[in-house]
Amino acid sequence: MELLQREDLDSITLPGRVIQKAVGRDSAVDSNKMTMGFGHYSSKSGPMEPHHHAEEICYVLGAEKSWVRFGTTKLKLTNKINLKTGMTLHIPDMEFHVFEFLEEGFVDLIFFYGQVEGIRPEERE
């Protein structure tokens, strides 16, 4: 068994978010079966691009003045859910989505994938 503390994980700043990889490929704990980590979305990291990838579960640890938009294409995000602490989101395989927030808002979450290979569309080609 391995114990991880979030505050000990490296932070990676990406457009629109800061992630911390806990378990999976290129993570604090290597796994070839699953991926798990933390994401923080706020104005500090700027806006996020709508994107899609493998099926994902997100558990919202904290949220203020934030939402997720999702839909069938990058330009057709017709659905919106205002986020609240304690929500669990199931994002189907290859569904476009984006986390957004007001200037003073944020989203803090845990993400899970049941795989480590082929998560991103470019890895499936």
Residue 21 lies in a domain: yes
Site of tokens 């989101």 = 89
Residue 3 lies in a domain: no
Q: What is the distance between the alpha carbons of residues 50 and 29, in angstroms, rounded to a whole number?
A: 28
Residue 65 lies in a domain: yes
Structure tokens at 64: 């203020």
Is pTM, for the whole model, over 0.85?
Answer: yes
Residue 4 lies in a domain: no
Minimal CA–CA distance to 100: which of 57, 69, 58, 61?
A: 69
Q: Which domain holds residue 74?
A: 10-109+118-124
Domain count, the chain: 1
Please tell me whether residue 45 adopts helix, strand or coil conformation: helix
Residue 5 lies in a domain: no
CATH at residue 44: 2.60.120.10
pLDDT digits (tens, 9 = 90+) for 47-98: 999 999 899 999 999 999 999 999 999 999 999 999 999 999 999 999 999 9
Residue 1 lies in a domain: no
pLDDT digits (tens, 9 = 90+) for 16-35: 899 999 999 999 999 999 99
Give the ranges where the chain is alpha helix by DSSP (H): 121-124
Residue 72 lies in a domain: yes
Residue 95 lies in a domain: yes
Residues sharing a CB contact under 8 Å with residue 122, sequence separation 6 or more, in sequence order = none
User: Which pLDDT score, from 0 to 100, does residue 116 have?
Assistant: 75
